[in-house]
Amino acid sequence: MRAQLKLVETSTPESIVAEDPAAVASGAAAKRSLLRFLTCGSVDDGKSTLLGRLLYETGAVFDDQLQVLERDSVRFGTTGDDMDYALLVDGLSAEREQGITIDVAYRYFSTAKRAFIAADTPGHEQYTRNMATGASTADVAIILVDARKGVLPQTRRHSYIVSMLGVRRVIVAVNKIDLVDYDESVFHRIEQEYRKLAGALEFLECHFVPVSARFGDNVVAVSDKTPWYGRAPLLALLENIEAAPQSDDAFRFPVQWVNRPHLDFRGFSGTIASGSIGVGDRIIALPRGRSSRVVRILGPSGDLDVATSGQSITLTLADEIDISRGDVIVAASAPTAPQRHVVARLLAMNEAQLAPGRNYVVRIGANLASARLVALHHQVDVHDYSEQPAAALPMNGIGLATLRFETDVVATSYRACQTLGALLLIDPHSNETVGLGVVEDDVGKAVVPTQMWTTRLATGLADFGVLPADAGQSELAWLAASALVTTLIVLALSGSLAVSVMVGLADFVVRPVLRVLFRSTWAAASRRRAAVRETELTTDGGGI
Amino acid sequence: MGRLTHLQALEAESIFVLREVAATCEKPVLLYSIGKDSAVLLHLAMKAFAPGKPPFPLLHVDTGWKFREMIAFRDLTAKRLGLDLIVHVNEEGVKAGVNPITSGSAVHTDVMKTQGLKQALDKYGFDAAFGGARRDEETSRAKERIFSLRTPDHRWDPKAQRPEPWRTFNTRKRKGESFRVFPLSNWTEADVWDYIALENIPVVPLYFAKRRPVVERNGALIMRDDDRLPLLPGETPQMRMVRFRTLGCFPLTGAVESTAATLPEIIAEMRASRSSERQGRVIDHDGSSSMELKKQEGYF
């Protein structure tokens, strides 16, 4: 099989030799740690090819899959006579036909040291939301840069999103190094350029490695074509990089499900979002603020004395206090104040743009709460990281906004706790996920910023249905302008200032009221029409 | 996930998903297909709701052509765990005489599995169905969500999938829509076997090597589980030392020659193997995108 694959054979470092069966049998494999990473970068940087290469080299691709790959490479491949490793990961037929990655794909491989979950994400700007999805669960990002092209707008965009979603460790893979004749100066120029960009972001570690995904240089073994590199190949970096997720050590436990199999047992199930808890510890249940003490901790394999972040457990408490799904149990020593306002960095994920005045169902932790986007402070230009004023966030746009909840919610900053600082915006009518958000640090102090009185008026009027929900200052300005024109016309016709001003004011007030009346009448009429249609459909089977 | 081992991290994630469905859906069901993945899924469900029982029944869509040992194991497992088991057979398909031998694997799978599954979900009104599918099985599965929304007629639209960041699931759906939920999405075949060994989970004996009566057809070793499998001229079943990597309808499931009769031996053999587990499945071999098509039509 291998002989047919025009591969540059690379020597296999010991770490990836398939596990010794005896070691497996003794359970050594069960002690591996887990690293989640994503590959991202510009279109055609070779992300899928790199991942396909890692899968192939670590033995995660089987011979029958290689046969399919060989067949598909001839049919869809973009690499001439060579195997197109990207086809190992681009699984949807639309992707194979177009030769691009649309959706995020998860792939799996392991070495003796670690098990890896890799998210292969799309490079095209219109699929940024899928790239963000891949970044949300990642411990590490591999950012690909084409050696011939250097740092591109997409490199900047992806680096920003990766940083925003809390990834603190990145590996910059300078790919296609074979196409620049393994030139050291190209590699160093890109490294310097990227370090400048990364200065504005929140990375703790940046590693740089020159690779050729197509030929395998520095992917699992050090290449003899880059003697100037002298550092670890990509796989060794992945095996050794720190995988600690960011969060502080305060105990936070979003209650996911109340376990009540019979009258004698009442437990609260969930996954610990941060910190740890022990039997006997005092806790507070938010948002109501009742306190109690932990009696039992049920882990997946029985009772535990202590449980820690990431474990799925069930707690029982000493007191009968009212706790339901969506509540958060925290250590009594570190309570968090529930709040009505949250400032979050949002990413719009749907064609319906995110706009001030709109209502959303917001999922935060296990809680589902209604909220209104009350202010959009700015949109971030992800190419130069500048902040621009904006009326709404278009799909894939990122900006800072304030959400006002209808009830008290428990949220923390994303930096303090990913689970309680991450939110989904859901359209209440279509149920589509229209955005994601990460809560900013000044949570709790979050206040609605001083707005123009006109914006407040427009939002207030929209609350009463007098203006459309997404009305802003422009709607008011339009009303004022049309009233002014009416005033001028009446003034010209009648010559009386008093009469024209009164007519103009009447116009200003009556027009929105008429709109409400007209819309409700129209809606009632169309509901009747729809009802008639539905009856017709049901009687003749509706074409089903 | 801090200092958890990778199997502990996967276990915690799966338990989280199982509980999420119990908390947000009205009438969930666990699709129990009797294989090793189902065994792990069921084991995790028992853990997720302990000390209680899982708040949902098991559903087996029986094609009538499963190995007899699978059926015996199924009934024993439901009894051992004290769970409700619903067995659904597509009676229309049976009446029409659909079978894997004369109808062909594609028709048989569509009628007896896909249509049978839809019938059962509609009949009982389940709004969420757990499946044991894993993303590492097949490339179109690699893009599947953990919470996969289906239209009222059970279709899957790969282009209109909801983004699924973090483990913060959008569990809202309209009336008639349902979720297929895959708690084992991030597990690999190796993880499943490591976990079975670690937790001592019972599995169907067909996974272990034994002398069994097989015939060789188109390069696949087919076990003659009963005499409904007609012998071709000149064919006689031979007793060979074989086992199965995946389980399905016996005329459509290829055995592998093996001497691995214990869990450690199976794990060692799997790690040394150079072919994927789905290689033995006749139904997957109609082109790389065929699974995507089957899934769009409502196959799990």
How close B213 gets to chain A, by Cα (Å)?
26
Task: Look at residue A81 in the predicted model and tell me its pLDDT.
Answer: 54
CA dist., res. A369 & res. B35, Å (int) = 40
Statement: residue B236 has pLDDT above 80: yes
Spell out the SS3 assignment of A39-71: EEECCCCCHHHHHHHHHHHCCCCCHHHHHHHHH
- CATH, domain range A2-240: 3.40.50.300
Q: Which of A431, A436, A439 to mutate to test the interface with B (most CBs of B within 10 A)?
A: A431
Cβ within 8 Å of residue B103, ≥6 positions away: B97, B111
3-state helix, strand, coil in chain A (%, to 5): 35, 30, 40
CB contact under 8 A, A259 and B11: no
Residues B207 and B276 in one domain: yes
Q: Which residue has the tokens 């955005």?
A: A435
CA dist., res. A121 & res. B217, Å (int) = 41
Considering only CB atoms, A18 lies closest to which of B162, B195, B272, namely B272
Statement: residue A186 has pLDDT above 90: yes
Q: Which of A131, A312, A345, A395 to mutate to test the interface with B (most CBs of B within 10 A)?
A: A312
CA dist., res. B145 & res. A315, Å (int) = 29
Provide mean pLDDT across the span B46-59: 96
Residues B210 and B152 in one domain: no
Mean pLDDT computed over every residue of chain B: 89
CA dist., res. A404 & res. A420, Å (int) = 16
Task: Look at residue A199 in the predicted model and tell me its pLDDT.
Answer: 93
- Of B114, B121, B87, B85, give the one whose Cα is nearest residue B98: B114
Mean pLDDT computed over every residue of chain A: 81
CB contact under 8 A, B274 and A62: yes
Q: For residue range B57-70, list pLDDT tens digits in order.
A: 999 999 999 999 99
Considering only CB atoms, A33 lies closest to which of B6, B165, B275, namely B6
Q: Which residue has the tokens 């949109």?
A: A379
Q: How many C-alpha atoms does A139 have within 13 Å on its Cβ side?
A: 18
Task: Look at residue A525 in the predicted model and tell me its pLDDT.
Answer: 65
CA dist., res. A425 & res. A364, Å (int) = 9
Helices (H), A225-282: 234-240
CB contact under 8 A, B4 and A311: yes
Phi, psi of B286 (to 5 degrees): -100, 30
CB contact under 8 A, A105 and B164: no
ipTM: 0.90
User: Checking DSSP bridges between strand A267-271 and strand A257-259, what pairing results, if any?
Assistant: antiparallel
Q: How far is CA A278 from CA A73, A271, A297, A317, in A?
A: 55, 15, 8, 12
Task: Look at residue A405 in the predicted model and tell me its pLDDT.
Answer: 96
Give the domain extent around B246: 203-283
Statement: residue A524 has pLDDT above 80: no
Give, for A330, the enclosing helix (H) or strand (E).
strand A328-331
CA dist., res. A487 & res. A496, Å (int) = 10
- Closest chain B residue to A270 measured between Cα atoms? B16
Q: How far is CA A27 from CA A22, B191, B199, in A?
A: 9, 12, 11
CB contact under 8 A, B166 and A419: yes
Residues B149 and B228 in one domain: no
Task: Look at residue A56 in the predicted model and tell me its pLDDT.
Answer: 84
Confidence of residue A492 (pLDDT cuts 50, 70, 90): confident
Residues B144 and B21 in one domain: yes
Specify if B198 maps to a domain.
no
CA angle (A84 as vertex; A82, A85 as ends), nearest 5: 125
What are the strands, taking DSSP E only, across A111-150? 114-120, 140-146
- Of B42, B36, B55, B33, give the one whose Cα is nearest residue B14: B42
CB contact under 8 A, B22 and A88: no
Residues B138 and B265 in one domain: no
Residues B83 and B167 in one domain: yes
Superfamily of domain A252-331: Translation factors (2.40.30.10)
CA dist., res. A118 & res. A138, Å (int) = 8
Statement: residue A458 has pLDDT above 80: no
Q: Which of B172, B273, B293, B295 to mutate to test the interface with A (most CBs of A within 10 A)?
A: B172
Considering only CB atoms, A65 lies closest to which of B159, B273, B276, namely B276
* Residue numbers in B near A418 (CB within 8 A): 166
Confidence of residue A448 (pLDDT cuts 50, 70, 90): very low
The CATH number linked to B107 is: 3.40.50.620
Cα torsion angle, B69, B70, B76, B77, sign = positive
Confidence of residue B289 (pLDDT cuts 50, 70, 90): low
DSSP structure string for A331-398: ETTS----EEEEEEEEEE-SSS-B-TT-EEEEEETTEEEEEEEEEEEEEEETTTTEEE--SSBPTT-E
CA dist., res. A36 & res. A43, Å (int) = 22
Note the pTM of the prediction, 2 decimals: 0.82
* Residue numbers in A near B48 (CB within 8 A): 269, 312
Q: For residue range B35-44, list pLDDT tens digits in order.
A: 999 999 999 9
Residue A494 corresponds to which tokens in the numbers above?
A: 């009648």
CB contact under 8 A, A24 and B267: yes
DSSP label at A440? Answer: -
* Residue numbers in B near A105 (CB within 8 A): 135, 139, 142-143
How close A395 gets to chain B, by Cα (Å)?
13
Lowest mean pLDDT across A153-162, A338-347, A498-507, B77-86: A498-507
Q: For residue range A228-237, list pLDDT tens digits in order.
A: 999 999 999 9
Characterize A147-186 residue by residue with b for buried, 16 or more Cβ atoms within 10 angstroms of its Cβ, and e for exposed. Answer: beeebbebbbbbbbbbbbbbbbbbbbbbbbbbebebeeeb
Most confident stretch, A22-36, A114-128, A273-287: A273-287
CA dist., res. A119 & res. A106, Å (int) = 5
How close A73 gets to chain B, by Cα (Å)?
12
Task: Look at residue B191 in the predicted model and tell me its pLDDT.
Answer: 94
- Closest chain B residue to A263 measured between Cα atoms? B52
Task: Look at residue B218 in the predicted model and tell me its pLDDT.
Answer: 83
Statement: residue B228 has pLDDT above 80: yes
* Residue numbers in A near B282 (CB within 8 A): none
CA dist., res. B205 & res. B207, Å (int) = 5
Amino acid letter for position B251: P
CB contact under 8 A, A309 and B48: no
DSSP label at B281? Answer: B
Lowest mean pLDDT across A178-182, A404-408, B189-193, B273-277: B273-277
Residue B206 corresponds to which tokens in the numbers above?
A: 């067909």
Q: How far is CA A164 from CA A292, A344, A436, B3, in A?
A: 36, 11, 11, 24
Residues B17 and B53 in one domain: yes
Residues B51 and B142 in one domain: yes
Which of helix, strand or coil describes residue A116?
A: strand
Provide mean pLDDT across the span B252-269: 93
Residues B106 and B224 in one domain: no
Considering only CB atoms, B172 lies closest to which of A256, A418, A431, namely A431
Q: List, by residue range, all CATH 3.40.50.300 domains of chain A.
A: 2-240
Q: Which residue has the tokens 């794909």?
A: A105
CB contact under 8 A, A64 and B11: no
CA dist., res. A255 & res. A317, Å (int) = 13
Ordered strands of the B128-130 beta sheet: B85-88, B58-61, B28-31, B128-130, B178-181, B147-150
- Of B179, B57, B190, give the one whose Cα is nearest residue B134: B190
DSSP label at A404? Answer: E
Looking at domain A339-439, its CATH architecture is Beta Barrel (2.40)
Cβ atoms of residues A480 and A473 within 8 Å: no
DSSP label at A184? Answer: H
Task: Look at residue A259 in the predicted model and tell me its pLDDT.
Answer: 96
How close B227 gets to chain A, by Cα (Å)?
31
Task: Look at residue A10 in the predicted model and tell me its pLDDT.
Answer: 37
Statement: residue A256 has pLDDT above 50: yes
Considering only CB atoms, A19 lies closest to which of B19, B271, B273, namely B271
DSSP label at A151? Answer: S
* Residue numbers in B near A33 (CB within 8 A): 5-6
- Closest chain B residue to A65 measured between Cα atoms? B276
Total domains in the fold of chain B: 2
Q: For residue range B73-97, list pLDDT tens digits in order.
A: 999 999 999 999 999 999 999 999 9
CB contact under 8 A, B2 and A33: no
Q: For residue range B110-130, list pLDDT tens digits in order.
A: 899 999 999 999 999 999 999
- Give me Rg for the CA atoms of chain A: 29
Amino acid letter for position A415: R
Statement: residue A536 has pLDDT above 50: no
CB contact under 8 A, B8 and A311: yes
Q: How far is CA A260 from CA A84, A280, A291, A336, A368, in A?
A: 53, 21, 20, 27, 22
Residues B180 and B207 in one domain: no
Specify if B197 maps to a domain.
no
Confidence of residue A501 (pLDDT cuts 50, 70, 90): confident
The more confidently predicted of residues B157 and A540 is B157
Q: For residue range A21-43, list pLDDT tens digits in order.
A: 444 444 556 678 899 999 988 77
Q: List, by residue range, all CATH 2.40.30.10 domains of chain A.
A: 252-331, 339-439
Provide mean pLDDT across the span A102-127: 84
CA dist., res. A124 & res. A43, Å (int) = 6
Residues B19 and B106 in one domain: yes
Task: Look at residue B128 in the predicted model and tell me its pLDDT.
Answer: 96
Give, for B245, the enclosing helix (H) or strand (E).
none
Considering only CB atoms, A256 lies closest to which of B3, B19, B289, namely B19
Specify if B36 maps to a domain.
yes
Confidence of residue A92 (pLDDT cuts 50, 70, 90): low
- Of A213, A212, A171, give the one whose Cα is nearest residue A55: A213
CB contact under 8 A, B140 and A92: yes
Phi, psi of A93 (to 5 degrees): -65, -35
- Of B40, B53, B51, B33, give the one whose Cα is nearest residue B11: B40
Residues B42 and B66 in one domain: yes
Q: For residue range A208-243, list pLDDT tens digits in order.
A: 999 999 899 999 999 999 999 999 999 999 999 988
CA dist., res. A328 & res. A325, Å (int) = 8
- Of A125, A5, A113, give the one whose Cα is nearest residue A69: A5
Residue B180 corresponds to which tokens in the numbers above?
A: 């297929």
Specify if B1 maps to a domain.
no
**Cis previous bond, B51, omega within 30:** yes
Cβ atoms of residues A73 and A82 within 8 Å: yes
